[in-house]
Amino acid sequence: MSISVGDRLPEATFGIMTADGPSQVSTADAFAGKTVALFAVPGAFTPTCSAKHLPGFVQKADELKAKGVDAIACTSVNDVFVMGAWGKDQGAGEDVMMLADGNGDFAKAVGLTMDGSGFGMGTRSQRYSMLIEDGVVKQLNVEQPGDFRVSTAEHMLSQL
């Protein structure tokens, strides 16, 4: 069963790349006391994720923050090195926190996994976005397989 609007995020730990190398952050530390636009992608450096999803949130970061979003975060079932490199490649900088869900623990805990075995990717995260206030899901936008509409930065802006 997947997470729903009104649910508190489950406890999980993400990998993050810092100037000093890999580190970790818990869901409590990443989301407590803030309004966060979180979006999840099936894989870093994949076509839709790299051409549209992450770039959309980077481009709309100022607009999201102007509407009350304190932080923007991207998660994917990739390791911290891949997420760090992808964020750098995409110019995410300080605008988007790149949260590596290396073993898919967060994706499993929120019940939003997909089977990417047919593409050689194993278990991955579904494509979605969430608006989270102080660790509680306020909006949840899960894409249908192959779609890219409701998890976009533009759609999230329309919800604020």
Q: What is the tens place of the pLDDT at every residue in 14-37?
A: 999 999 999 999 999 999 999 999
Tell me the pLDDT tens digit for each residue of 95-114. Answer: 999 999 999 999 999 999 98
Domains of the chain, each with CATH number or no CATH: 13-159 (3.40.30.10)
Catalytic residue among 16, 49, 132, 153: 49
Active site residue 74: no
- Count of residues making up the chain: 160
Using a cut of 0.85, tell me whether the model's pTM lies above it.
yes
